[in-house]
Amino acid sequence: MKKTILTLALSSILAFAWDVNATYLKSYNYEKACACDDAIKVLIPLYKKYPNDYTLNLRLGWLFFLSKKYNNAISHYQKALIAAPYSMEANIGLIRSYLASEDYSSAIRIGNVILKTDYYNFYGNYYLTLALKAKGNYSEAKKIINKMLTLYPTSVIYLEQLAEITAKKSPKEAEKIYKNILILDPNNVKAKEFMQKK
């Protein structure tokens, strides 16, 4: 009797795992085919069963972000954070969604949350820089850029941000930075555009 119950329980768990795996696989395949709406739809039955699941909310947040449905993305990333409050993945998804929806104050707030947990988080610092720049707070953005360039001196994305801020006051200094960027990334679009405007 105990063996039968155990066998039934194990079969049920395996069937559940297979169903979840198959559903996620369909979702990933739709995403690869750039059919994000279908990638979302296939997950909805699972979401109805497990609305507080971390991984599921993280996945839906990403898919809604790709679909440019930023309010939905924000909602799912927030639910993921309820399940895993210190998740860098969910916080990064959240800050990106706030940036895309042009809610820069919320992006700055989340950026500061990320930095309290992980002061040198590469993307947390980067997205916070973008939010500060969007709010016109160039001095704070530059502090973060310089901090990160101390750790990653050849980081093209941080060098681009430094060049953009520097160009506002000193185009000649910005030109030097863009020349360095072209050494690291010879096809860099931003650097080429700047050089053509000269």
What would the pLDDT profile of 53-110 be if each residue is shown by its tens digit?
Answer: 999 999 999 999 999 999 999 999 999 999 999 999 999 999 999 999 999 999 999 9
Q: Where are the domains of the chain?
A: 153-198
CA-to-CA dists, residue 179 to 112, 126, 183, 185, angstroms = 32, 21, 7, 10
Is the pLDDT higher at 21 or at 148?
Answer: 148
End-to-end Cα, the chain, rounded Å:
83
Angle formed at CA 167 by CA 164 and CA 172, multiple of 5 degrees? 135
